[in-house]
Amino acid sequence: MKKSIILELCVVPKVFRTRFTPGPVTRVMKLDQRKIHWIIRQKQKGVTTKQIALDMKISRRRVQQIWKSYAESKQEPSIGENMGRPRKPFDEREAEVIGEAYQHYRFGARMLETVVRKVFKIRISHNRIHMYLKAADLAHEDAKKKNRRKWVRYERKHSLSAGHIDWHESGWSDLKVCVIIDDASRMILAGGEFKNINTENSKLVVDELVERYWWLCPMRELILDHGAEFGANRVREDGKWDSEFKKHIERHGIKPILARVKHPQTNGKLERWFGEYQRHRLAFSSFEEFKEWYNNRPHGSLEFEHLETPEQAFRRKMRLEMYFAIGHRLFGL
């Protein structure tokens, strides 16, 4: 084929070279009771569904929906009431699966949807799960969760790179709880329930951490707030501070990191865990039983599609030298 012919074929015909100008953007009109009344009156006058939809800037399906509701009940439909598809009632199988899944995992609807699909091999939407949980008084609306978060989540790459320590008072008992949570895996590494919040009990939790994990790998950093039990309430103007607790953790090679004042997000992983403790602790006979349940339950901030637990994430995120330590402990290599 000659070059000139090829060029002619590549030229876009003039009819297709017209500049495209988008039309005006149609705004969707929000309906209220007065507009519902007007739509019904127009239908009674014989105005077409298409024309009403254009005038009200809504879909024809919406006009048909309003007219059908009026034709069946002879009453004007109320905004927000019975305007959508009727809800399908629960069957016994769904109720049994959701009840069993909640008793075992104690998740909310969003995370239970994945668990039900993965473990029970049934697809139930989180809206239907939430409807069941509310009916069983196992879930409630939380206005705080509807607000967009203003901070960005962070986490360390490897297990035992950093941990968080803090205290919590339950309110339903005179016992107080103190735990250390691994930043990378969300696994509870050490902790317990005590009668008093003080430095000595805080040191006991650190000693448990050392006893359990120092053969594997010492923790590098420990993030804590300005609580008096850590002696961190006496920070000098130059930002330095000293306390019995600080000296205790530094003897184990741990670097203390103070959280920002009035910034609970720094210890947000522990704050989130305290919420789980508050909601579910009484379902277990002991703190150790609750801790084991939590560490072996899928966590929404990990690889939740694979139902990864904090304990599994702890192993997955271990540094290479930690595997050598395990081999040496098991086989003396």
Cβ neighbours, 10 Å, residue 72: 9
Q: How long a stretch of residues is the chain?
A: 333
| Angle at the Cα of 234 from the Cα atoms of 230 and 235, rounded to 5 degrees | 105
| Structure confidence by residue, pLDDT tens digits, 275-307 | 999 999 999 999 999 999 999 999 998 999 999
Distance CA 91, CA 109 (A): 17
Helices H, strands E: what count in the chain?
13, 5
Ramachandran angles phi, psi of 190, nearest 5°? -160, 155
Where do the DSSP E strands lie in the chain? 162-169, 176-182, 188-194, 221-224, 255-258
What is the overall mean pLDDT for the chain?
A: 84
DSSP 282: G
Separation CA 326–CA 315 (nearest Å): 11
- Reported pTM: 0.69
Q: What pLDDT was estimated at residue 10?
A: 42
- Spans of the chain, pLDDT less than 70: 1-29, 80-87, 90, 142-153, 238-239, 263-264, 333
- Predicted confidence at residue 148, as pLDDT, reads 55
Q: What is the pLDDT of residue 212?
A: 95
For residue 189, the SS3 value is: strand
CB atoms within 10 A of CB 102: 21
- pLDDT tens-digit series, residues 16-47: 344 444 444 444 567 888 888 899 989 888 99
